[in-house]
Amino acid sequence: MQELVVTILLGLLALGGLGMLLWGRSPKSNMTKRQKKTLLRIVEATALLLLLQLLPPSLFEALGPAGFWVRLGLYLLDYLLIGYDILLKAAKGIKNRQVFDECFLMAVATVGAFALALFARTGDYTEAIAVMLFYQVGEWFQSYAVGKSRRNITELMDIRPDYANVEQDGQLLQVDPDEVSIGTVIVVRPGEKVPIDGVVAEGSSSLDTAALTGESLPREVKEGDEIVSGCVNLQGLLKVRTTKEFGESTVSKILDLVENASSRKSKSEDFISKFARIYTPVVCFAALALALLPPLVSLLVGAAPQWGQWVYRALTFLVISCPCALVISIPLSFFAGIGGASNAGVLVKGSNYLETLSQTKTVVFDKTGTLTQGVFEVNAVHHSPLREEQLLEYAALAESSSSHPISKSLQRAWGKDIDRSRVTDVQEYSGSGVTALVDGVPVAAGNQKLMERLGIDYHNCHCPGTIIHMAVGGAYAGHIVISDVVKPQAKEAIAALADAGVWETVMLTGDRKKAADAVAQSLGIQQVYSELLPAGKVEKVEELLRRETGKGKLAFVGDGINDAPVLGRADIGIAMGAMGSDAAIEAADVVLMDDDPRKIAKAIKISRKCLAIVYQNIVFAIGVKVLCLVLGALGLANMWLAIFADVGVMVLAVLNAIRALFVKNL
C-alpha cells in the first residue's frame, strides 16, 4: 500500500518537475540558471528513485551477495545526487562553528535514516532520499518565489538609466549619467528613460511615470516643466537642462531607498530570527534526548531498549522540527508587501515601517503642499503705498532664494526674470517669512509673526486666504492676499482614512487660523492647530504622541524642509515625493511618489494586508509544527508525514506571502 502511494507520488513529482523544466525554457518563466540546474537534479533523482522503486527485488537477489551492495550503491548514488550540496553546507556549518541550521537538521536526519535502514537491514533507503528530495523541492520553490517577488522590486530598479545623451558638435554622445554636471542639456529621445532630474528646455512630449508613481496615465510636459528621472519619454524629443547631479536625482534616491529597505527589520522578523537561533539547538538536543533516554530507562528497568524505534522517532522529530516555513515566509511577506506598495507608488523604507504603518490610528497633516497644492495665486494687494507691480517686484526679489511654495508663487506672479545680484543679506525665518536687502533697501515679506518680530505695525486683513505682509525700508507697505487650492483628491483622501481604520485626523499649519479652519472644514479634518512655528509643530506632535494610549501609532504627513523634524519625531513620517523637499524625503519613513494624499489610506491598507499575512503564516506554521512534533514524539508520525507537513506548510506559507504583492484593489 505505502509502496504504491510512494510510487504515485514520485511519478507525479517527476512529471511536475519535467513540466517545470519545459516551462523554464520559455523566457517568461524568469528562472535563473541555478534554479534550472537544481530542477534538473530534482527530476533526475526522482526518476532514478522511481526506477529503483519499480525494479523487481528478484533482480538484485539474482546477483547473490553482490546484489545487496549494488542496490545500496545505486540508492547511495541517488542520495548523493540530490543531497550532496546540503551535506557540504552542513559540513561547512560545523567547520565554521555555526552548527545548528536547517542543513544540519536535514543531514543528520537523512544520514541517520540511511544508517538505520542499513543496520536494521530493512533495505528501505527510499525514506532518506525522499526527505532530501522534498526538502530540495521546497528550497527550490522558495528560491523561485523569492526571485519572483524580488524581481517585482527590481522592476523598480529597472528605472536605473544606463546612459545620458549629451549633444556635442552636433552629435549625440552617450555618457555615464554620473558624469553629467548640473546645467548640462541632455537629450531624451522617445522610448528612453529620463536619466537625471531637470527642466524641459525644448520640446514637448508625454511621459510614462508608472514606474515611479504606479499611475498609468501619461503626464504631458512642455518647455519649462520640471521632470524627474525614471520617467520614460513616450513621444517627442526632449531637451532637458539638468537641475541635479545623478546621485541627487530622484532615480538614485529611490534606488537607495529600495536597496536599503530590506535591511530595516521589523519586530516580527527580529523575533523569528532570534527564535530560529534558539529553537534549532533546542530541537537538536530534544531529539538526542528522545533517542537516548527512553532506551536507557528501558535498560534500567530491565526491558528491551528498542534502540531502532527511538532513534527513528528522534530522526523524524528532527525532520519535523525544521523551521523553514517560518524563517522563509515572514521576510518574504514583508518583501512582497514593500514590493506591492512600491508598485502602487508608495515607497516604504523598511519592513519595520510597514509594521508601524499597519497600527496607525492618528494621521497628522501639514497643510501647505500636503493637503493643498502649494501653488498660490495672488488675489489682491491691500493698503499699499506702492503700485501693485512694484510691491510684487520687491516680494519676488526678496523671496528669490527661498524654496517655500509661497516664494515660488510670488516669483511666478511677478513673472519676470530675477536678477539675483540686486538681492543681498537674505534671512529666512522658518514659518514666518523672509527679510532681504533689495537694491540696498530692507524688505520683509511674511506673516504677522514676522511683522511683530520686526516691530512693524500692520493692517489686519479680513479676507480669507494667506496674507503676506510687506515692509519696505522699515515701513509697512501693505499686504498681498494669496490663496492656495486644496488638492482635488484631498477630501476623498481624508474620507478613505476613516475607511482604513484611522480614528483621528489632525492638521498642523503655520498659516493663519482663518485660512487653516476653512481648509480643515472643507476637507472634514477633525482637529486644527494653526499659526504654529516649526518648533510648535514638533511640540504639538509630541503632545499628541504622549496622549496616545494603547498601541495606536501616529503618522505625520508633510512636504517641506520645516517638516523634517516632525517627520522624524512621529511614529511614522510620510513625505510627498514629487513636490516635497529633499530634507523631508530623507527624514520620512514612507514616501508618496505622486503626492496623492489618497495613497496614505492605500499605504495603510497595504500594510494591514501584509501584516495579516505575516500573522497568518506565523500561526499556521507554528501550529502545524507543534502538532507534528507531538505526533512525532508519540511515534504517530513517520518521516514521510514529517517532510510532507514541512514542505507543504512552507509552500502554502510562501504562496500566502506572495499575496502581499497584490494590492491593486485595496
List the catalytic residues: 366
C-alpha–C-alpha distance, residues 191 and 532, integer Å: 47
Which residue, 102 or 366, is less far from Mg ion as judged by CB? 366
Site for ligand ADP contains 411 (CB under 6 A): no
User: Is residue 198 at the binding interface for Mg ion, with CB under 5 A as the rule?
Assistant: no
* Cβ proximity to Mg ion, 355 vs 366, nearer residue: 366
Measured distance CA(508)–CA(371) in Å, rounded: 11
Quick check: 35 binds ligand ADP (CB under 6 A)? no
Query: Burial letters for 476-505: b for 16+ Cβ neighbours within 10 Å, e otherwise?
Result: bbbbbbbbbebbeebbebbebbeebebebb
Site for Mg ion, residues 543 to 562, rule: CB under 5 A: 560
368 contributes a contact to ligand ADP by CB under 6 A: yes
| Residue 573, contacted partner among Mg ion, ligand ADP, none, CB below 5-8 A by kind | none
- Residue position matching grid coordinates 501653488: 375
Please give the residue whose beta carbon sits closest to ligand ADP in the complex: 510
Q: Cβ closer to ligand ADP: 152 or 505?
A: 505
Q: Which of 17, 323, 340, 433 binds ligand ADP (CB under 6 A)?
A: 433
Scan residues 504-523 and list those touching ligand ADP (CB under 6 A): 509-511
Q: Are 212 and 250 in contact (CB under 8 A)?
A: yes
- Rounded Cα distance, 268 and 246, in Å: 36
Q: CB nearer to ligand ADP: give 36 or 453.
A: 453
Minimum gap (Å) between residue 24 Cβ and ligand ADP: 54
Closer by beta carbon to ligand ADP, 471 or else 613: 471
Write out the binding residues for ligand ADP, residues 543-572 only, by CB under 6 A: 560, 562
Angle, helix 307-321 to helix 267-300, in steps of 10 degrees: 180
Among the listed residues 308, 301, 17, the one whose alpha carbon sits nearest the alpha carbon of residue 144: 17
Pick between residue 210 and residue 583 the one whose CB is nearest to Mg ion. Answer: 583
Nearest approach in angstroms of CB 248 to Mg ion is 21
399 binds ligand ADP (CB under 6 A): yes
The listed partner (Mg ion, ligand ADP, none) that binds 511, CB under 5 to 8 Å by sort, is ligand ADP
Residues 6+ apart with CB under 8 A from 185: 166, 167, 201, 239, 240, 241, 242
Residue 446 binding partner per list Mg ion, ligand ADP, none, with a CB distance cut-off of 5 to 8 Å that depends on partner kind: ligand ADP
Q: Which secondary-structure segment (H or E) carries 375?
A: none
Mark residues 251-290: x for contact with ligand ADP by CB under 6 A, - for none: ----------------------------------------
Least distance from ligand ADP to the Cβ atom of residue 468, Å: 5
Q: Which residues pair with 429 in a beta bridge?
A: 433
Q: Which of residues 440-479 bind ligand ADP (CB under 6 A)?
A: 445-447, 466, 468
Question: Who's near 411: CB < 8 A, 6+ residues apart?
Answer: 396, 399, 400, 418
Cell of 52: 529503483
Residues near ligand ADP (CB under 6 A), total: 22
Nearest approach, Cβ of 369 to Mg ion (angstroms)?
A: 4
Strands (E) located in 412-523: 423-429, 433-438, 441-446, 466-472, 475-483, 504-508
23-31, 61-69, 362-370, 385-393 -> range binding ligand ADP (CB under 6 A): 362-370
# residues contacting Mg ion (CB under 5 A): 4
**Residue 35 or 530: which CB sits closer to ligand ADP?**
530
**Least distance between ligand ADP and beta carbon 143 (Å):** 47
- Minimum distance from CB of 248 to ligand ADP (Å)? 23
Residue 535: CB minimum distance to ligand ADP, A = 11
Residue 428 touches Mg ion, criterion: CB under 5 A: no
For residue 361, the minimal CB distance to Mg ion (Å) is 23
Instruction: Determine the angle formed by the axes of helices 490-499 and 598-633, rounding to 10 degrees.
Output: 20
Distances (CA, A) of 251 to 156, 160, 211, 413: 10, 7, 10, 31
Q: Which long-range contacts (CB under 8 A, 24 or more apart) does 54-61 make?
A: 54/7
Which of the choices ligand ADP, Mg ion, none does residue 447 contact, using the CB cut-off of 5 to 8 A by kind?
ligand ADP
Cβ-proximal residues to 106 (8 Å cutoff; 6+ apart), any chain: 83, 86, 90, 131, 132, 135, 319, 322
Query: Beta partners for 575?
Result: 558, 591
Of 131-139, 365-373, 536-544, 620-628, the segment contacting Mg ion by CB under 5 A is: 365-373
Does 366 interact with Mg ion (rule: CB under 5 A)? yes
8 A C-beta contact, residue 341 and residue 213: no
Min separation Cβ 586 and ligand ADP, Å: 17
Q: What is the dihedral of CA 646, 650, 651, 654, to 10 degrees?
A: 180
Which range in 67-75, 308-316, 404-412, 486-494 contacts ligand ADP by CB under 6 A? 404-412
Of 368, 402, 447, 505, which one interacts with Mg ion (CB under 5 A)? Answer: 368
Residue type at 93?
G
Find where cell 519592513 sits.
351
646's contact among Mg ion, ligand ADP, none, with CB below 5 to 8 A by partner kind, is: none
Q: Which residues pair with 380 in a beta bridge?
A: 481
- Short-list 502, 495, 560, CA closest to 533: 560
Interacting residues toward ligand ADP by CB under 6 A: 366-368, 399, 402, 404, 406-407, 431-434, 445-447, 466, 468, 509-511, 560, 562
